[in-house]
Amino acid sequence: MTPKKLLIVTGPQGSGNHLFSRIFSQHPAVSGWEQLKDQYWVPSDQEPFAEYWVYPERLTPAVFEGADYFLANVSVPFFYDGVRQTPNIYEVAVTAQTFGVEVVVAIVTRDQNINQVQQQRVGGAVTLPRAQQYYRDYLLPNFECHFISNESFFLWDAEYISYLGRLLKFPVDADKSLQWIDTNPNAKYVSPVDDHWLDAEIRAGRRPFQQRPAAAPNDTDATP
């Protein structure tokens, strides 16, 4: 008999946790975050597993009835009842395993510079190091963990979702996953660079050999 499976989607605040939770909730075989199918954003403490991140002792086998695949989402840290705190992901995962549920963790990644700017802008503090330390201390050494990429999704969309389904062995609906997605959220943080010190060298390196400037002699090759 195939065990039930819990996919925990987590990541630093602002990495794309809502995005991937919406994506993995689309398949009819998955018991996920139903509100995200109709709303663009929902507070983190309204996620189905929210109370268990704070009170892991409340998790019971009954939570895993009615489906074979479950999706849970939480950022590190996250806000619960107005308080920013570190979720008890490790305790929830271990408890689920004692119920015979297979646990897989997907850690969302986003460009670290954009991640830090977003965290400071929205939450007033950069929490990326706090998240990384939690993952290194509690999740990476103890569970099957995979890194999933915000940038890869916006570059490859449906192809990337199909790839994640194969990687995580989790049912996905690549077509439905594209709803609500219109622009890359990183675009608002990116502005053109007029000039960079390496530009001239790159352009020179693209010319035919005879048109390239002669390389400067290497001191170590000089004849004494």
Output Rg (C-alpha) for the chain, integer angstroms. 22
| Residue whose token pair is 């991937």 | 20
Domain assignment present for residue 54? The answer is: yes
Q: How far is CA 208 from CA 8, 211, 212, in A?
A: 52, 5, 7
Domain assignment present for residue 216? The answer is: no
Where the chain has pLDDT below 70, the residues are 1, 180, 215-224
User: Residue 224: what pLDDT?
Assistant: 47
Domain assignment present for residue 126? The answer is: yes
* CA 24/CA 47 separation, integer angstroms: 14
User: Residue 115: what pLDDT?
Assistant: 95
Domain assignment present for residue 88? The answer is: yes
Name the pTM for this structure. 0.90
Q: What angle do CA 12, 17, 21 make, to 5 degrees?
A: 155
Total of domains in the chain: 1
Look up the domain containing 154 and give its range.
5-189
The helix/strand/coil state of 162 is: helix
Burial of 19 (0-12, 13-18, 19+ CB in 10 A): buried
DSSP string covering 99-142:
TT-EEEEEEEE--HHHHHHHHHHHHSS--HHHHHHHIIIIITTT
Domain assignment present for residue 208? The answer is: no
Domain assignment present for residue 206? The answer is: no
User: Residue 220: what pLDDT?
Assistant: 53
β-pairing, 78-80 with 83-85? antiparallel
CATH number, domain containing residue 28: 3.40.50
User: Residue 185: what pLDDT?
Assistant: 86
Which residue from 75, 99, 71, 88 is spatially nearest to 6, judged by alpha carbons?
71
User: Residue 37: what pLDDT?
Assistant: 85
Domain assignment present for residue 61? The answer is: yes
